[in-house]
Amino acid sequence: MSVTMAAENTPRVNRGQVQVIRSSLPYQILLYINGWYFALFLICEILLFVYKGETLPYAYGVLAAEVILVFILAGIEVLRIFFASKGNLTERILGVIVSILLSIPAILGAIFILLWQTYVLRADVILAAIQLSFLGLELIFGIISIITFARSSPS
């Protein structure tokens, strides 16, 4: 994307100049790894909910609501990682901003699993803490890449 844009914008004299890539590699690695980690997180959470549903007493409808919330969190997470990775690779600010906005409900969902659900197991705490640290790191790298893209934009 950036290569074609540069070819359109720059006059022919500048052909052969070194193309600066502003997409952040650490951000992209984090997003790729976080996608896989969230898959593990989702499977572990579902298995933990199965365990909790089998052994612990729940009020009517609470377990179903919590499981649905975890699935909504999965949908938000898929969208967030998609927008962040596309925004980073195409060097567009909009995608990264959308992913940062989506990371607010993602952080709230992780905090829900960490603190606010009916029964918090130790495994829940560890898994949600790792997910929260991923989210925080991606927030930092997202803001850094927004600054980098905004500086380089011609307007």
Q: Which residues bind other proteins (CB under 8 A)?
A: 26, 29, 32-33, 36-37, 40, 122-123, 126-127, 130
Kindly tell me which of 40 and 94 has the beta carbon lying closer to other proteins.
40
Kindly tell me which of 68 and 126 has the beta carbon lying closer to other proteins.
126
Q: How far is the CB of 127 from other proteins (least distance, A)?
A: 7
Q: How far is the CB of 27 from other proteins (least distance, A)?
A: 12
Q: How far is the CB of 88 from other proteins (least distance, A)?
A: 17
Which DSSP string do the residues of the chain spell out, in sequence order? -HHHHHHHHS-GGGTTPPPPP-S-HHHHHHHHHHHHHHHHHHHHHHHHHHHHHHHS---TTHHHHHHHHHHHHHHHHHHHHHHHHHHHHTT-HHHHHHHHHHHHHHHHHHHIIIIISSS--HHHHHHHHHHHHHHHHHHHHHHHHHHHHHHHS--
Kindly tell me which of 36 and 60 has the beta carbon lying closer to other proteins.
36
